[in-house]
Amino acid sequence: MRLFGSHGSGEFQRSQFRRCGTNTVFETGVLVFHPGSISLGNNVYVGHYTILKGYHKNELVIGDDVWIGQQCFFHSAGGMSIGSRVGIGPGVRIITSYHREEGWHKPILASEIVFAPVSIGDDCDIGVNAVIMPGVTIGRGVQVGAGAVVTADVPDYGVAVGVPAKPVRQRPQIVS
Which domains are assigned to the chain?
14-166 (2.160.10.10)
Q: Provide the mean pLDDT of the chain.
A: 94
Per annotation, catalytic residue among 7, 34, 75, 99: 99
Query: Is 99 labeled as catalytic in the residue annotation?
Result: yes
Spatial separation of the C-alpha atoms in residues 24 and 39, rounded to whole Å: 11
- 160, β-bridge pairs: 144, 167
Q: Is 176 exposed, middle or buried (0-12, 13-18, 19+ CB in 10 A)?
A: exposed
Neighbouring C-beta atoms of residue 139, cutoff 10 Å:
18
Read off the amino acid at residue 113. Answer: I
24-41 pLDDT per residue, tens: 999 999 999 999 999 999
Q: Is 93 exposed, middle or buried (0-12, 13-18, 19+ CB in 10 A)?
A: middle
The model's pTM: 0.93
Backbone φ and ψ for 41, nearest 5 degrees, come out as -75, -165
Q: So what's the pLDDT on residue 2?
A: 62
Regions of the chain where pLDDT drops below 50: none
